[in-house]
């Protein structure tokens, strides 16, 4: 745990008692603050109470005595409407922060010998893979890397800091909206495409949230910007004009004069103005497809900025085991390979997986994002058959009508059975791709739970003990 002392002796309201909220409460107490915890869910309140954390009904509380509100990222800050806690805080002039902001203040307050380096990773897609990849590459090179934030462990639940530590943090737009003072030594903005617009009000609001990862950087810091989309190109141009930090663009589509890029799977380093081929990524099974090449380019640039040698960085890329729920081969039955891409919570993320296979049996659906799947129409010819589930079932069926065969299956287990029945009739290897292009919240708590349900459904296809799932 990382103690947070910036509110020592003062009272802080903490709303939302899931992973990040509980971690923030513990960190504040460890730093000498008084806390008033609340959650609208009785089970969450019970979990906090079991830890001895004080509960205060924030709807009935006197907010004039609070120094700050620590808000869970899942609660609306501005859109579609501010949460009632936000309105109460603003009415009393109470500062609103998130757990990442608490971490940033703890770093700023640390003495020089104890201050770690920080890598912050954001973007619409690829955040988790890139974050995990950087952590793996650093550890493989003998560095003390602590990986967390929006992936795995909440940032304040990571081990306490020291001068040799490197914190590698995945940051969502929701977390960045609640963060004002974070100054990462290395900031990565992978890509930008429409997502979470209902929470940010517009594309401009969403981009502004993502840009906050770059907000406080200055001389001596490094910004790594994906330039394969128009937003990234614009942001890279704008911050280059400011000329305050080292800027390395990254691309998986084109050669660039300075930075890191991948062409046809081969990664090139042009960070010093000279071009050198570093590694052929094509044989690296855990990093297939152009989107993963962008992730690899950004991760390589990050660890090089942190002083990892070219040879060690290349070896880290070769040995990366991959990320659960992101283009994860969970096993095969006969000639049918099952790929778990549950983390594809929007169409753009699903595109990345779909583009990796010329023909596939596609399981999709859930709670649709605003953009639906019409943007994937150019990939529909590769769909052998689609198996639709969840709230998006009817909308996705309309999008596919006349363009790709489909079946409405309702639930994931039925979709897996139907997909396997069709795929096993193929000649040669067949791919069953679970890449939902949707949020999970209609049927599952999160994409991890949805991915584990897919794994369990595939396991249920086996007839013990005659068959065994091979990974």
Is-above-0.95 flag for pTM? no
Please report how the helices 99-109 and 19-30 are oriented relative to each other, as an axis angle in degrees rounded to 10.
Answer: 30
33, 4 contact by CB (below 8 A)? yes
Question: SS3 for 283?
Answer: coil
Q: Estimate the share of the chain in helix, then strand, then coil, as percent rounded to the nearest 5.
A: 35, 20, 40
Torsion, Cα 105 108 111 115, to 10 degrees, reads 100
pLDDT tens figures, 159-203: 999 999 999 999 999 999 999 999 999 999 999 987 777 888 899
Nearest to 39 by CA among 53, 438, 27: 53
User: What pLDDT sits at residue 270?
Assistant: 96
Residue 439 C-alpha from the chain's centroid: 13
Q: With a cut of 70, which residues of the chain have pLDDT below it?
A: 370, 463-471
Domains of the chain, by residue range, sit at 11-97, 105-318, 328-460
| β 438-439/367-368 pair status | antiparallel
CATH topology of domain 328-460: 3.90.190
User: What pLDDT sits at residue 348?
Assistant: 85
DSSP class per residue in 294-322: HHHHHHHHHHHHTT--HHHHHHHHHT---
Beta bridge partners of 247: 223
CATH class of the domain defined by 11-97: alpha beta
CATH class of the domain defined by 105-318: alpha beta
The pair of structure tokens assigned to 436 is 């939902």
User: What pLDDT sits at residue 3?
Assistant: 97
User: What pLDDT sits at residue 467?
Assistant: 45
User: What pLDDT sits at residue 243?
Assistant: 75
User: What pLDDT sits at residue 67?
Assistant: 98
User: What pLDDT sits at residue 429?
Assistant: 93
Q: Whose structure tokens read 């971490």?
A: 103
124, 287 contact by CB (below 8 A)? no
């Amino acid at each position: 745990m990382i103690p947070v002392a910036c509110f020592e002796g003062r009272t802080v309201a903490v709303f939302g008692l899931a992973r990040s909220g509980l971690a923030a409460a513990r960190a504040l107490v460890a730093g000498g603050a008084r806390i008033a915890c609340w959650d609208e869910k009785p089970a969450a309140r019970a979990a906090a109470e079991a830890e001895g954390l004080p509960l205060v009904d924030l709807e009935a509380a006197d907010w004039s005595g609070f120094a700050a509100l620590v808000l869970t990222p899942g609660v609306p800050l501005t859109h579609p409407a501010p949460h009632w806690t936000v309105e109460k805080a603003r009415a009393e002039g109470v500062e609103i922060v998130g757990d990442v902001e608490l971490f940033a203040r703890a770093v700023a307050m640390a003495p020089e010998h104890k201050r770690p380096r920080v890598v912050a990773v954001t973007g619409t897609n690829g955040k988790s893979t890139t974050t995990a990849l950087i952590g793996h590459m650093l550890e493989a090179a003998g560095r003390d890397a602590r990986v967390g934030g929006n992936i795995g462990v909440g940032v304040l639940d990571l081990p306490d800091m020291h001068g040799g530590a490197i914190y590698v943090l995945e940051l969502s737009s929701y977390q960045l909206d609640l963060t004002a003072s974070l100054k990462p030594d290395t900031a990565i903005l992978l890509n930008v495409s429409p997502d979470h617009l209902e929470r940010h009000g517009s594309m401009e609001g969403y981009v502004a949230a993502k840009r906050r990862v770059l907000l406080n950087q200055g001389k001596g810091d490094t910004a790594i910007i994906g330039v394969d989309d128009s937003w990234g190109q614009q942001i890279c141009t704008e911050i280059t004009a400011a000329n305050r930090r080292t800027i390395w663009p990254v691309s998986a589509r084109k050669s660039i004069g300075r930075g890191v890029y991948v062409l046809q799977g081969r990664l090139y380093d042009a960070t010093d103005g000279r071009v050198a081929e570093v590694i052929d990524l094509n044989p690296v099974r855990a990093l297939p497809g152009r989107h993963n090449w962008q992730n690899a380019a950004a991760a390589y640039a990050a660890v090089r900025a942190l002083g990892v040698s070219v040879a060690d960085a290349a070896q880290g890329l070769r040995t990366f085991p991959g990320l659960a729920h992101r283009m994860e081969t969970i096993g095969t039955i006969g000639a049918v390979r099952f790929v778990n891409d549950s983390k594809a919570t929007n169409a753009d993320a699903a595109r990345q997986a779909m583009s990796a296979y010329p023909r596939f049996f596609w399981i999709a659906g859930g709670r649709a994002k605003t953009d639906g799947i019409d943007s994937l129409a150019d990939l529909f010819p590769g769909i052998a058959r689609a198996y639709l589930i969840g709230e998006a079932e009817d909308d996705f069926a309309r999008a596919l009508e006349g363009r790709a065969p489909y079946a409405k299956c309702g639930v994931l287990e039925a979709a897996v059975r139907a997909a396997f029945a069709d795929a096993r009739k193929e000649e040669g290897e067949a791919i069953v791709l679970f890449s939902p292009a949707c949020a999970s919240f209609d049927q599952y708590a999160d994409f991890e739970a949805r991915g584990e349900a897919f794994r369990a459904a595939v396991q249920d296809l086996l007839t013990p003990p005659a068959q065994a799932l091979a990974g």
